[in-house]
Chains A and B, each alone.
Chain A
């Protein structure tokens, strides 16, 4: 299933091709994409979290969810930002852990000279932040998608936002 990876790759220019290769599951030892496709793992979690928050916003009869005073577009936007923030940290946290634990293959991390000395580092911490940002955007996209599907049955928020 490459759909999620393709979506993330719309933002590949942000977090870099090498981190994208790692997330696609590229294995430096075999030269094939036979590791876990992390785009799918992170993407499914992102989709699930946005789904739960959208569902809560439109249907959960608790707190300010599905509430007659929470049906303004900015209330919806706040939930979108909360979902985005959660997914931002999931995207960042996942990649920075792999980065710090050395899980990313050497061929993707560095350019080395024939003696094996590192010429340049191809993936940096900044790329992890930027992947987090990409996940934020993907989260926002799914939030809009889920909203446009789920809102119609809501009692109090069906017209929030006006889409």
Chain B
């Protein structure tokens, strides 16, 4: 099976990759066996990046127990890091833009004057360690060094015939808007050399690889700056318009180009970057992640890819994402059938699994303000309370089982999964598919979809889940390690209990 290399550029790229990882953890259908994520950003201290990195690291650990040769789909798709790294670190670490272009060191007076005409003093003095702060004109200059990197050589080495490339970027910021066309151009430039001037292996394959991208249009705005930040959301629409007019030149250079936007925006606190840049997850990011899955789906290859007999792109397919109604709060019922078929079962099954492990959302008083937070609640921890009694767990999942690394990482992802769902509820356009406060095994899915078996024989609520676990344990390959068996067991049980069909 082939791989897809997913390049996430900037903060939006990192957040979409996070949503993609959540979907893969939940077991969505993915048309490739392996996803290789690569994040490109100059702002390495960005909290969105570090959150994505931690999630992917946990995912990779859990993926090791997901190969059960059975039905399991949780964490099934492999995520592989090139050279063990998630970030494509640009080698040049110059802090100020004017130093990067050598305005004060290598330019004649005439050129310095030209630079002063093209860029404002504020832009020339911009500290680029916190990204390009919404300035694609800077990004397009600084990012033009992708190939000068060890990871790029590793990417070329790793690339095989049939592998695909996907680029995620936002159009209204700095890094993504400028990085996307540069990166696409680099992939399709022949004879690109490595960091040490060496030929890059497989570059011919990369030149002709199927390539898709999603360009995320504005879906949030930022408040007034509290520092010397140059980010100004008043310019988001204009920047998008300008970038889109430039992207016209990308026509027929990509196999598929996806667009997504949301006019009902949330206003985030203003941060130019760094550790304080941590935006809540948004449904737009989840939907953008489904673009990657759509691009690799074998069911729609004929719609997405139009190549001639010489494997040249005949025309670019353009796709947009939409929901059925323009609602400020929506759930699974408001999604199109294609999206429902893709995400309803996996998200619901994985949430049921996480709830069984005791995770839930509770109201808490924080600094005199009632807030919703994700916690493990002892009385809701059905696994802890039941594993001593239930046949499925007997001598398998008892004792120190919960302390083994793979299970701890699994639970770590489950907490993050809950937080991710909760964050999507906190946006102005709320995606609220679940009643996260519910402690029930039956009524936690909102909307008119009746997909959870409400009663199995005489079993209700969590007894129904335990009964199913006790049924399924007999069907699982006994030669599996306990942690893999655990994964297979919960997938099978939740699959039996939750089954949405159109």
Query: Please, which residues of chain B bring their CB within 8 A of the CB of A149?
Result: none
How many residues of A are counted as interface, with CB atoms below 8 angstroms from the partner's CB atoms?
Answer: 16
Within 8 Å by CB of B391, from A62, A72, A159, lies: A159
Query: Please, which residues of chain A bring their CB within 8 A of the CB of B457?
Result: 61-62
Interface residues of B in 425-469 (CB under 8 A from A): 457-459, 463, 466-467
Interface contact A68-B458, CB-CB below 8 Å:
no
Within 8 Å by CB of A155, from B386, B389, B463, B467, lies: B467
Query: Please, which residues of chain B bring their CB within 8 A of the CB of A67?
Result: 458-459, 463, 467
**Can you list 26 pairs linking A and B with CB atoms under 8 Å apart?**
A61-B457, A61-B458, A62-B458, A64-B458, A67-B459, A67-B463, A68-B386, A68-B389, A68-B459, A68-B466, A68-B467, A68-B470, A69-B463, A69-B466, A71-B391, A155-B467, A155-B470, A155-B471, A156-B391, A156-B466, A156-B467, A156-B470, A157-B391, A158-B391, A159-B394, A160-B389
Tell which of B386, B389, B467, B470 has the most Cβ of chain A within 10 Å: B389
Contact with B along A47-80 (1 / 0, CB 8 A): 0000000000000011110011101100000000
CB of B405 within 8 Å of the partner chain: no
Distance (Å) between the CB of B491 and the closest chain A CB?
19
Tell which of A61, A63, A154, A160 has the most Cβ of chain B within 10 Å: A61
Distance (Å) between the CB of B57 and the closest chain A CB?
35
Interface contact B389-A72, CB-CB below 8 Å:
yes
A157 CA / B386 CA spacing, docked (Å): 12
CB of B390 within 8 Å of the partner chain: yes
* Known contacts A68-B467, A69-B463, then 8 further A-B pairs from the complex at CB < 8 Å, ordered by chain A residue: A63-B458, A67-B463, A68-B389, A71-B390, A155-B470, A156-B390, A159-B389, A159-B394
Contact with B along A120-163 (1 / 0, CB 8 A): 00000000000000000000000000000000001111111000
Closest 5 CB pairs of A and B: A68-B466, A68-B463, A61-B457, A158-B391, A71-B389
A61 CA / B467 CA spacing, docked (Å): 11
Query: Please, which residues of chain A bring their CB within 8 A of the CB of B463?
Result: 67-69
B residues within 8 Å of A by Cβ? 386, 389-391, 394, 457-459, 463, 466-467, 470-471
A97 CA / B466 CA spacing, docked (Å): 47
Query: Please, which residues of chain B bring their CB within 8 A of the CB of A61?
Result: 457-458
Q: Is the interface of A mostly helix, strand, loop or mixed?
A: loop
Query: Please, which residues of chain A bring their CB within 8 A of the CB of B470?
Result: 68, 155-156
Query: Please, which residues of chain A bring their CB within 8 A of the CB of B390?
Result: 68, 71, 156
Tell which of A68, A154, A157, A160 has the most Cβ of chain B within 10 Å: A68
A63 CA / B459 CA spacing, docked (Å): 9
Query: Please, which residues of chain B bring their CB within 8 A of the CB of A159?
Result: 389, 391, 394
* A69 to B, closest residue via Cβ: B463
Distance (Å) between the CB of B389 and the closest chain A CB?
5
Query: Please, which residues of chain B bring their CB within 8 A of the CB of A63?
Result: 458
Distance (Å) between the CB of A18 and the closest chain B CB?
47
* A162 to B, closest residue via Cβ: B394
A92 CA / B242 CA spacing, docked (Å): 96
* A73 to B, closest residue via Cβ: B389
A71 CA / B394 CA spacing, docked (Å): 12
Query: Please, which residues of chain B bring their CB within 8 A of the CB of A72?
Result: 389
* B466 to A, closest residue via Cβ: A68
* B395 to A, closest residue via Cβ: A159
* A72 to B, closest residue via Cβ: B389
A62 CA / B390 CA spacing, docked (Å): 18
Query: Please, which residues of chain B bring their CB within 8 A of the CB of A158?
Result: 391, 394
Distance (Å) between the CB of B490 and the closest chain A CB?
15
Distance (Å) between the CB of B1 and the closest chain A CB?
37
Distance (Å) between the CB of B492 and the closest chain A CB?
15
A104 CA / B127 CA spacing, docked (Å): 108
* B474 to A, closest residue via Cβ: A155
Distance (Å) between the CB of A133 and the closest chain B CB?
32
Contact with B along A70-110 (1 / 0, CB 8 A): 01100000000000000000000000000000000000000
Distance (Å) between the CB of B276 and the closest chain A CB?
47
A94 CA / B80 CA spacing, docked (Å): 76
Distance (Å) between the CB of B380 and the closest chain A CB?
16
* A64 to B, closest residue via Cβ: B458
* A154 to B, closest residue via Cβ: B391
Distance (Å) between the CB of A61 and the closest chain B CB?
5
Query: Please, which residues of chain B bring their CB within 8 A of the CB of A157?
Result: 391
Distance (Å) between the CB of A88 and the closest chain B CB?
29
